[in-house]
A and B are shown apart, each in its own frame.
Chain A
Amino acid sequence: MAVVLDGIRVVDMTVFYQGPVACRYLADFGAEVIKVEPLEGEVARGLQQHGILPMKEWNSYYYNNNRNRKSLAINLTKEEGKQIVYKLVEKSDVFVSNYRFTGLQRLKMDYQTLYQVNPRLIYAASTGFGYYGPDRDKAAFDPIAEARVGIMSYLGEEGQPPVYPGWGAGDMMGAILTSLGIVLALYHRQKSGDGQRVAASLFGGCIFAAAPFLQPYLSTSRQDLLHQPSRKARRNPLCNVYPTKDKWCYFYVPNSQKFWSKFCQALGMKELEDDPRFNTSENRSDNSSQLISILDSVLTTKSAVEWVKRYHEEGLLIMPVNSFEDLSRDPGAWENQYLVEIDDPRWERRKTTGLVAQLSKTPGETGIFGPELGQHNEEILIDLLGYTWDQIVSLKDEGVIL
């Protein structure tokens, strides 16, 4: 079976999250990714904690973000170290970095320099705030970018703390945009023969992520579109999140007579159907707050499972607000291979997330977890770059490689 990016070599000079994951998406579809890291290892190798979850047993952050690649541990501050990477770039198709531009300049790994080394190179800058502008070198932190876009102020009920839309969701947007830019450039290069520079960022990703709410405001300048409407005052009260005995559930029902009748049937309150406050769709909208109050109290009398059964019986859509624990047991997630088990020779099988897209003829592979530091030094230097064992011994002695 063909492998899409077979023969494509990627030099990965990335750290933490957005950059490594961008490279992972390429590796998942067959690219050979070589992670260039300092002798002490990429910063994320030393992560102690990830949220409430300690990394001491196993650094799932580093090992997942860096799946499917090789590690070259090398001292880029030494001239010989740079030369090794230039030789590698000469034989590669893609270079990806989320280092700051000033850092890349200092290391002489900037676009202009590498373009001279390899004019067919796709050079991908995957940064915090974009290739241009006064903030091009601003450090990339997801909560900072999300705050800057305004989505945190938009979400949530009036008066509640701002809602931070996911830990690193912005980084994940930046990651897929980087990979997408790279494969577009590779596709274009197939026809034109030209390499080019591609740039994507956390900030750009966050702006797009906010689009469903941000674009309506930008197009109309309506002040009421700066904040999410309260769940207590929805125009269609049948399309709303409601508390049940155990979990919140998202009820998603059209506000027509046909569906209202079924809604009341599922609710077990047929008498509500002809209540003059709610007996037409217009009335339901006008008296939405009252209806929501009633539903808030009625729906807490039964569990989510019970309501799902009743609403599905009427052909209505409802979805519990699941936790991670629920997700870990979700048959749909496993059957579609959105969650998978990875078989890595170093450990017993581990559960993790799968691929982001499925191709019918040339599927990707989740492969194995991230490499140990410098694990592929010799393989790369000898097999790929033609160094001898003697040269390798000298390079180690001089502190150029691990």
Chain B
Amino acid sequence: MGSGLLSGIRVLDLAYKTAGSLTSALFGDWGATVFKAEALELEFDPWQYAVDDPAGRDPLFEFVNRNKMSISLAFQTKEGKEILRKVAGKVDILVTDLPTKILEDLGIDYATLCEGNPGVVYGICSGFGSRGPDKDTPPIDELACSKSGFLWVVTEPGYPPSYTANGQIAAAFYLAYGIILALYQREQSGEGQKVDASLFNAYINQMGTLVQSSLASMELTSMPSSGWQPLSRSTATNPLANLYKTKDKWVSFALAQTDRYWHDFCKAVELEDIEHDPRFNTHEKRCGDEFRQDLISILDKALLKRSAAEWQSRWEGIPLIYEIIDDFQKVEDDPQAYVNQYLIELDYGSRGKTTMIGFPIEFSRTPASISRLCPSRGEHTTKILVDVLGYSSDQITELREKKVVY
């Protein structure tokens, strides 16, 4: 894999949650050699707070752990920790979400590690950052989604909050970004450094402009606090950029410039009689506080009249911006997803073929690839001990017998 983006780069993956695991998997996609260190002790529970049963390798685990090798070590024995430290001493990047106490106990916290390995780029994905009242709260994505305002802003009034799970994916990308910046910097300075990302910050940034605008409004206008409400389809600020129910499925419209589309839109939804209605005949009126809910109510009724398929055939050739809301079965068959490798087909041998979420970025010279599937626990213990630390087969046999490695 000499031509890969990260050829020659070695990564030690000590992530137990999705975000950090995905960061390491991406490095593997881009040609790095990734060692996933897993505790030999099955009861190892970094936060003493396991909500689910200890994983088997479920589909999400397999997705975020592709392109890695697995070494299993006894995290609670002196010898196991020593091997882990030796491996850590030989890598370019370490990725973790483990609490500081555990990292210190293992002897691979950043302060300790960078003494023997000054070039190491040390990436941490925490839950809520290294400061503040939640600095020791475990990196649980549901809690970060709640604290950040993201869960609140996507909740339709009258309905319960619906956890979106996207922050941990964003955090994986933000952490990867910081790590690659540090790697780039290292080429010039020769030194590594610590990189921090968090789930909480990921959610804050996923809302981006909404948070920024809200903060600006709090400072600059006299808008009362009750003015900042979650997004709601029944009071959408632009009725033509909103969701509507048809006879069967929902449809999402995204017509930001309503003046440009108003004539075509009225014709398309069979509401020619409101095109010149004085309540709706300018963009300002359509989106203004006085009449927009009237318009939404009218559209609610109109769209219900036909099925999604009927509307779609009626809208052929009309320049509308819309999408019928379908479920995952639709994207599963979407050629646009496959041709860009956002979805890929993998051969799982006896398990047959499976569709996996693929590569998020395309590179013209140095494409990403899957060179190995998610490993089983300890699948590469021997290989890593031999290749990276130069252990003999006798040494390894002894370590297995003593249950220092698996």
Q: Is B149 an interface residue (CB 8 A)?
A: yes
Query: Are B214 and A328 interface neighbours, CB within 8 A?
Result: yes
Query: Are A147 and B187 interface neighbours, CB within 8 A?
Result: no
Binds A, one of B101-109, B126-134, B260-268, B387-395: B126-134
Query: Are B169 and A227 interface neighbours, CB within 8 A?
Result: no
Q: Give min CB distance, A364 to chain B, whole Å.
A: 8
Q: Contacts A216-B60, A219-B59 known; A179 to B355 CB distance under 8 Å?
A: no
Q: Give min CB distance, A333 to chain B, whole Å.
A: 7
Q: Which residues of A contact B227 (CB under 8 A)?
A: 52
Query: Are A359 and B181 interface neighbours, CB within 8 A?
Result: yes
A51 to B230, CA, bound (A): 10
Could you give, for residues 208-231 of chain B, a 1 whenever the CB lies within 8 Å of some chain A CB and a 0 otherwise?
A: 111111111111110101011101
Which of chain B's residues 172-193 have a Cβ closer than 8 Å to chain A? 173-178, 180-185, 187-189, 191, 193
Beta-carbon nearest neighbor of B62 in chain A: A219
Beta-carbon nearest neighbor of A44 in chain B: B209
Q: Is B370 an interface residue (CB 8 A)?
A: no
Q: Give min CB distance, B65 to chain A, whole Å.
A: 12
Binds B, one of A73-81, A100-108, A155-163, A386-394: A155-163
Query: Are A152 and B325 interface neighbours, CB within 8 A?
Result: yes
Could you give, for residues 1-30 of chain A, a 1 whenever the CB lies within 8 Å of some chain B CB and a 0 otherwise?
A: 010110000000000010001000100010
Query: Are A217 and B328 interface neighbours, CB within 8 A?
Result: yes
Binds B, one of A59-67, A84-92, A264-272, A372-380: A59-67
Interface band, chain A: 35 or more
A51 to B130, CA, bound (A): 33
A335 to B200, CA, bound (A): 13
Q: Contacts A156-B159, A166-B153, A324-B149 known; A211 to B63 CB distance under 8 Å?
A: yes
Q: Give min CB distance, A131 to chain B, whole Å.
A: 6
Beta-carbon nearest neighbor of A243 in chain B: B160
Q: Which residues of A contact B42 (CB under 8 A)?
A: none
Which of chain A's residues 328-387 have a Cβ closer than 8 Å to chain B? 328, 330-333, 335-336, 338-339, 350-354, 356-362
Q: Contacts A173-B170, A181-B363, A359-B194 known; A49 to B237 CB distance under 8 Å?
A: yes
What are 6 sample pairs from A and B whose C-beta atoms fall under 8 A apart? Answer: A161-B159, A176-B174, A184-B180, A210-B166, A210-B328, A323-B228
Query: Are B250 and A162 interface neighbours, CB within 8 A?
Result: yes
Query: Are B213 and A60 interface neighbours, CB within 8 A?
Result: yes
Q: Which residues of A contact B355 (CB under 8 A)?
A: 218-219
Q: Is A288 an interface residue (CB 8 A)?
A: no
Q: Contacts A60-B209, A218-B357 known; A2 to B336 CB distance under 8 Å?
A: no
Query: Are A184 and B361 interface neighbours, CB within 8 A?
Result: yes
Query: Are B193 and A359 interface neighbours, CB within 8 A?
Result: yes
Which of chain A's residues 316-330 have a Cβ closer than 8 Å to chain B? 317, 319-328, 330
Query: Are B323 and A130 interface neighbours, CB within 8 A?
Result: no
Point out the residue from A57, A131, A208 that lies within 8 Å of B360, measured CB to CB.
A208
Q: Contacts A155-B164, A352-B212 known; list 13 others, CB within 8 Å.
A: A61-B209, A64-B212, A152-B252, A161-B250, A203-B337, A211-B63, A216-B58, A322-B147, A332-B132, A353-B204, A359-B178, A359-B185, A361-B189
Q: Which residues of A contact B325 (CB under 8 A)?
A: 147, 152-153, 162
Q: Is B78 an interface residue (CB 8 A)?
A: no
Query: Are B357 and A214 interface neighbours, CB within 8 A?
Result: yes
Q: Give min CB distance, B349 to chain A, whole Å.
A: 15
A75 to B244, CA, bound (A): 41
Query: Are A4 and B146 interface neighbours, CB within 8 A?
Result: no
Point out residues on B near A: beta carbons under 8 Å: 5-6, 18, 30, 49-52, 58-60, 62-63, 128-135, 137-138, 140, 142-143, 145-156, 159-166, 168-170, 173-178, 180-185, 187-189, 191, 193-198, 200-202, 204-221, 223, 225, 227-229, 231, 233, 237, 241, 243, 245, 250, 252-254, 256, 287, 321-332, 334-337, 339-340, 342-343, 354-357, 360-366
In this complex, the member of A49, A336, A354 whose beta carbon has the largest number of chain B beta carbons within 10 angstroms is A336
Query: Are B173 and A197 interface neighbours, CB within 8 A?
Result: no
In this complex, the member of B181, B182, B198, B357 whose beta carbon has the largest number of chain A beta carbons within 10 angstroms is B181
Point out the residue from A135, A180, A332 that lies within 8 Å of B180, measured CB to CB.
A180
A200 to B164, CA, bound (A): 22
Query: Are B327 and A130 interface neighbours, CB within 8 A?
Result: no
Which of chain A's residues 192-234 have a Cβ closer than 8 Å to chain B? 194, 196-201, 203-205, 207-220, 225-228, 231
Query: Are B148 and A353 interface neighbours, CB within 8 A?
Result: no
Q: Which residues of B contact A57 (CB under 8 A)?
A: 216, 220-221
Query: Are B334 and A148 interface neighbours, CB within 8 A?
Result: yes
Query: Are B241 and A353 interface neighbours, CB within 8 A?
Result: no
A132 to B174, CA, bound (A): 25
Q: Give min CB distance, A7 to chain B, whole Å.
A: 10
Q: Give min CB distance, A216 to chain B, whole Å.
A: 4
Which of chain A's residues 239-259 have a Cβ closer than 8 Å to chain B? 239, 241, 243, 248-250, 252-255
Q: Which residues of A contact B220 (CB under 8 A)?
A: 57-58
Q: Which residues of B contact A4 (CB under 8 A)?
A: 181-182, 184-185
Q: Is A36 an interface residue (CB 8 A)?
A: no
A325 to B214, CA, bound (A): 8
Q: Contacts A21-B208, A177-B173, A190-B184 known; A196 to B363 CB distance under 8 Å?
A: yes
Query: Are B327 and A154 interface neighbours, CB within 8 A?
Result: yes
Beta-carbon nearest neighbor of B368 in chain A: A184
Q: Is A294 an interface residue (CB 8 A)?
A: no
Q: Which residues of B contact A186 (CB under 8 A)?
A: 184
5 closest cross-chain pairs (CB), A and B: A332-B132, A357-B178, A336-B129, A130-B340, A219-B59
Q: Contacts A148-B330, A188-B366, A336-B198 known; A239 to B51 CB distance under 8 Å?
A: yes
Query: Are A324 and B228 interface neighbours, CB within 8 A?
Result: yes
A199 to B60, CA, bound (A): 25
Query: Are B165 and A213 interface neighbours, CB within 8 A?
Result: yes
Beta-carbon nearest neighbor of A230 in chain B: B160
A180 to B362, CA, bound (A): 11
A179 to B175, CA, bound (A): 12
A135 to B134, CA, bound (A): 44
Q: Is A276 an interface residue (CB 8 A)?
A: no
Q: Which residues of B contact A219 (CB under 8 A)?
A: 59, 62-63, 354-356
Q: Which residues of A contact B253 (CB under 8 A)?
A: 143
Q: Which residues of A contact B200 (CB under 8 A)?
A: 332-333, 336, 338
Q: Contacts A250-B143, A360-B195 known; A339 to B204 CB distance under 8 Å?
A: yes
Q: Contacts A144-B252, A148-B331, A322-B147 known; A353 to B205 CB distance under 8 Å?
A: yes
Q: Give min CB distance, A6 to chain B, whole Å.
A: 9
Query: Are B201 and A338 interface neighbours, CB within 8 A?
Result: yes
Point out the residue from B153, B287, B336 that lies within 8 Å of A49, measured CB to CB.
B287
Q: Is A295 an interface residue (CB 8 A)?
A: no
A54 to B289, CA, bound (A): 12
Q: Contacts A150-B330, A214-B328 known; A356 to B210 CB distance under 8 Å?
A: no
Q: Which residues of B contact A171 (CB under 8 A)?
A: 208
Point out the residue from A135, A199, A319 that lies within 8 Å of B362, measured CB to CB.
A199
Q: Which residues of A contact B142 (CB under 8 A)?
A: 239, 250, 252, 319
In this complex, the member of A134, A178, A250 whose beta carbon has the largest number of chain B beta carbons within 10 angstroms is A250
Q: Contacts A218-B343, A218-B357 known; A200 to B149 CB distance under 8 Å?
A: no
Beta-carbon nearest neighbor of B177 in chain A: A180
